[in-house]
Structures are given as C-alpha cells and as structure tokens.
Amino acid sequence: MLHKVNISGLAMDPASNTPIVLLKTEEGDKTLPIWIGLLEATSIASALQDIQFDRPMTHDLFKNLTQMLNLHINRIDICDLKDNTFFAEIHFAFGERSFTMDARPSDAIALALRFKAPIFVDDQVMEKSQASKPGEALDDSEEGKKWADYLEKLSPEDFGKYKV
C-alpha cells in the first residue's frame, strides 16, 4: 500500500553534516528521514521556497526538457530500501502512454516539487526504515554504536522546518 507524504522538514544532520529530508504521511503520524546530497537538498529547498535562478539548475533543465517533449510527471514513489539505500520511481505520462523510471529519491522529490506531483511511500519502505537501526549494518565499533544510539533518539522535532 502506498502512503501519500509531504515534506515536513529539511535539515542538516549535525553529526555528519549531511542534509536530511523528512517525509511525513498525510494520514497517521509516520515520518521517514532520508539522508540526501547537498546539491539535491539545495534543489529541494529552492523549489520549496520558490526561488528562481537566472539560469536553469539541473532539475529545472530536466523539467524544461520534459515539458518540451509533452511529458508529465504524475507521481513519484519511494518504493524500496535495500542496504540503507532508498529507491524511487518516477511515473511519467505521455499522451495516452505512461512509463516509469528508476531514480534516487532526492532527485525524484526535487522533480515532484517542480511538477507539483504527489509523493508516495510504500508500506514496506516505512516498515524497513523503522525496523532498521541507523548505523547498525555499517559499523559495529564503539564509535559506530555511539552514532547509532544518537540517530535512534532523533525525533522529527529535532529537525528544522521550511515554511511552505
């Protein structure tokens, strides 16, 4: 089952200086944190704040190209989580035809914002995300356990929020 989500926050993880996008379900109270790259976070933030640049950024360029080709993004799905890596699909429409492309969630979210397309998260992704403990699979040293404990105690309130 897919859950419609909204971006509830975009912040920097103070431990790793890595941007995090927080997705919150519209129904219920589930939150999904996804660590993303700095360039993608900048692209998401500029879309959230409706900042226009003199020259098109990568996601804007892609939007311009797809519109010239009469392609539309209907929705994106955060569809899987494997080995601490999230996977997404972008659902395109072209006239009566449709197709799906694999994408990084950060790129898919940046495009969804530009197309005003809904964002969905699959049940299994929510379950896998809540079942895994950050850092557990990657580092079982004392330092790794300390970071895992820190990340496990983070709550959505610990992150900043963008005013949309």
Average pLDDT for runs of 10 along the chain of length 164: 94 89 92 94 94 92 95 97 95 95 97 97 91 52 66 60 44
Long-range own/partner contacts, residues 149-152 (CB < 8 A, 24 or more apart): 150/15, 151/15
Q: Please state the pTM of the whole predicted model.
A: 0.79
Q: Assess if residue 115 is contained within a domain.
A: yes
Which residues constitute the domain of residue 83? 2-158
Does the residue 163 lie in any domain? no
- At residue 16, the pLDDT reads 87
pLDDT of residue 114: 97
* In a domain? residue 164: no
* Any domain includes 138: yes
**Which residue, 161, 160, 156, 159, is CA-closest to 25?**
156
109 domain-assigned: yes
Give the pLDDT confidence score for residue 52 in this predicted structure. Answer: 87
CATH number, position 14: 3.10.690.10
Per the structure, the count of domains in the chain is 1
pLDDT of the residue at 105: 97
Please give the backbone phi and psi of residue 148, each rounded to the nearest 5 degrees, phi first.
-60, -40
CA–CA separation, 156 and 67 (whole Å): 35
pLDDT for res 43: 95
Phi-psi label, residue 43: left if phi above 0, alpha if psi -120 to 50, beta otherwise: alpha
Both tokens of residue 17?
């200086």
C-alpha dihedral over 16, 59, 161, 137, to 10 degrees? -30
